[in-house]
Amino acid sequence: MDWDTFREERRRAGRPFVVAHRGARLLEAENTVRAFLLALAQGADALETDLRFTADDQLVLFHDPTLDRMTEGAGLVRDHTLAQIQALRTRRPGGVLGEDRIPTLADLIEATGGGAPLLLELKDPLFLQEKYAKMLVDTLEQGRVLRRSALISFNFEHVLAVQRIRPDIPIGHITLKNPWPKRGAQLLGPLWPLMYVNPLYTAHAHRMGSIVAPLDPTPEPRLHHYVRWGVDAVLADDPGGVRARLHGSSKLK
């Protein structure tokens, strides 16, 4: 699946696609290769992950600005080299240290053979600089996954900066407050209560040609609403469980 054929494939599927939120993070350390490969094995349609730069300007998959929660290390990701970061063990669900290491974006592309659609959240303000935006584009081009990649951020300027270099890459906006679709964003991630504030959110977004994937990594209690509203994708901390429930989505309507 490429993002430019997403709408057509979504119509054929007849259900929202499942986007693994940081991989199968209820079973494996989040944002690790093992978590992503398990998510794909469970039937995830796409993978969502977070991008930050190390001290030596390497793109790593890491959600937090600091290493403290997810590793045995401490301090800012940006203050450590890739070698220092990859020497750290990551924390599995429950906080137990495991042997999985923090991967780079290139590591993920190699591990998946470039076959998995990627939803990349730009966490680092460095993406505002042309040098760093180009590093991301170069990595996606070298991995031959540019057509399978889409960029999202809470800060829309981050994704716009990358799109200025590659105007054909789809970009999206995540919001905690705005109950109306944002113009210029091909993908929209409203915090899930906003969908109740504006039940016509998806209809408005579709008229603008945008894709809707609510910000809701535990969507199980609301799947019947999402199916009825016609959202295009759902995030999932448990991609296998969500995929199984959507397989019988006719019962959710």
CA atoms within 13 A on the CB side of 131: 4
Judge if pTM exceeds 0.75. yes
The set of residues, in sequence order, having a beta carbon less than 8 Å from that of 126 and lying 6+ positions away, is 53, 132
- CA pair distance 166, 193, nearest whole angstrom: 33
Per-residue pLDDT of the chain (253 residues; tens, 9 = 90+): 778 888 889 889 999 999 999 999 999 999 999 999 999 999 999 999 999 999 999 999 999 999 999 999 999 999 999 999 999 999 999 999 999 999 999 999 999 999 999 999 999 999 999 999 999 999 999 999 999 999 999 999 999 999 999 999 999 999 999 999 999 999 999 999 999 999 999 999 999 999 999 999 999 999 999 999 999 999 999 999 999 999 875 456 5
Residue 217 has what pLDDT? 98
- pLDDT given for residue 157 in this prediction: 98
Q: What does the domain layout of the chain look like in residue ranges?
A: 3-251
3-class DSSP string for the chain: CCHHHHHHHHHHHCCCEEEEECCCCCCCCCCCHHHHHHHHHCCCCEEEEEEEECCCCCEEECCCCECCCCECCCCEHHHCCHHHHHCCCEECCCCCECCCCCCEHHHHHHHCCCCCCEEEEECCHHHHCHHHHHHHHHHHHHCCCHHHEEEEECCHHHHHHHHCCCCCCCEEEEECCCCCCCCCCCEEEEECHHHHHCCCHHHHHHHCCCEECCECCCCHHHHHHHHHHCCCEEEECCHHHHHHHHHCHHHCC
Class of residue 66 by CB neighbours under 10 A (exposed 0-12, middle 13-18, buried 19+):
middle
Q: What is the pLDDT of residue 105?
A: 98
Number of Cβ within 10 Å of residue 24's Cβ equals 27
- The CATH code belonging to domain 3-251 is 3.20.20.190
Q: What is the pLDDT of residue 249?
A: 56
Strand partners, 48: 21, 119
